[in-house]
Amino acid sequence: MSGQTYLIGLLFGWNLVVFGLYAVDKSRAKRGKWRISERTLLLSAVLFGGLGALLSGHLFHHKTRKLYFQIVWWLGVLIDGVVIFALLK
């Protein structure tokens, strides 16, 4: 396996983890349980997890009304795209 393939796999895996974080937080919110902090959710999204956060947020209708989450999600998607482009170039 090449280094590029490995790094893209890591990026994909991290986005799955971020997707799961948002899903778990939504589930906990519905049940009135302890929540994952907004700071953690935002940092995980901007640090190479934008696509997972965006998809999970919209699928589970979680944090979609907060403009700063939308901005961070799209910034994270842009960062993901730039990284993938740089790896494939």
- Comparing CA positions, the residue from 19, 18, 21 lying closest to residue 29 is 21
Percent of the chain with pLDDT over 90: 96
Q: Provide mean pLDDT across the span 40-61.
A: 97
What confidence category does residue 66 fall into, taking pLDDT thresholds of 50, 70 and 90? very high
Q: Provide mean pLDDT across the span 66-87.
A: 96
Whether the pLDDT of residue 1 is over 90: the answer is no
pTM for the model stands at: 0.93
What confidence category does residue 74 fall into, taking pLDDT thresholds of 50, 70 and 90? very high
- Cα end-to-end span (Å), the chain: 17
Q: What token pair was written down for 49?
A: 């997890």
Find out whether 21 and 40 touch, Cβ atoms under 8 Å: yes
